Chain A
Amino acid sequence: MEVVDHETPSLENGKTDKEVEENANVLQFMDSMDAYLTLIHSLSSTLRRGWLELASARHSMGASRVNTVLLDHTSHPAATSLLVTQDEGKVDSGKPHFTLCKWASSSNENSLFGEKQSSQDKLHPQLRHRGSTELYEEKTSSENKASREVDDPVQKERSKSLSMFGTLVSPKLRAAQLSFEH
Chain B
Amino acid sequence: MESGGGARRGRMVIDPKVRQVGFVTPGEQDGPAGVSSSSAQVNAPDSPAPVMIPPAPRVAVPAAADHSPPKPAAPVPIPPRSPPLPPRNFDAEDEMPLGSYNPGGEGVLAGSPNSSYGKASSEKAEIGDLSPTMVAELNSSMMEMSLERSKYELPVPEKENESTADVISERVEVPAINNNEGPENDARQRKLKDRTSKAERRALQESQRAAKEAARASAAVAKAKPPPQKKDGSNEKKGVDKKPVDKSGEKDKKKEVVVPEKDKRKDAPAPRLQFDDEQKVAKARRRAIVEQTTETKHRVELFRHLPQFVPPTQLQALEEKYLQNDTMHIHPAVYQVGLKYLTWDIVGGNARCVAMLEAFKEMIRDYTTPPQKVMSRDLTAKINSHVSFLSTCRPLSISMGNAIRSFKLKIGKLRDTLTEAEAKSSLVSHLETFAQEKIILADKEIVKHAVTKIIDGDVVLTHGFSCVVEMVLSHAHSIGKKFRVVVVDSRPRLEGRILLRSLLAQGLKCTYTHINAVTYIMQEVTKVFLGAASILANGTVYSRVGTAAAAMVAHGYRVPVMICCETYKFHERVQLDSICSNELGDPDALVGVAGRKEFRELVGWDESEHLRLLNLTYDATPADYVSMIITEHGMVPPTSVPVILREYRKEPIL
A binds B: no
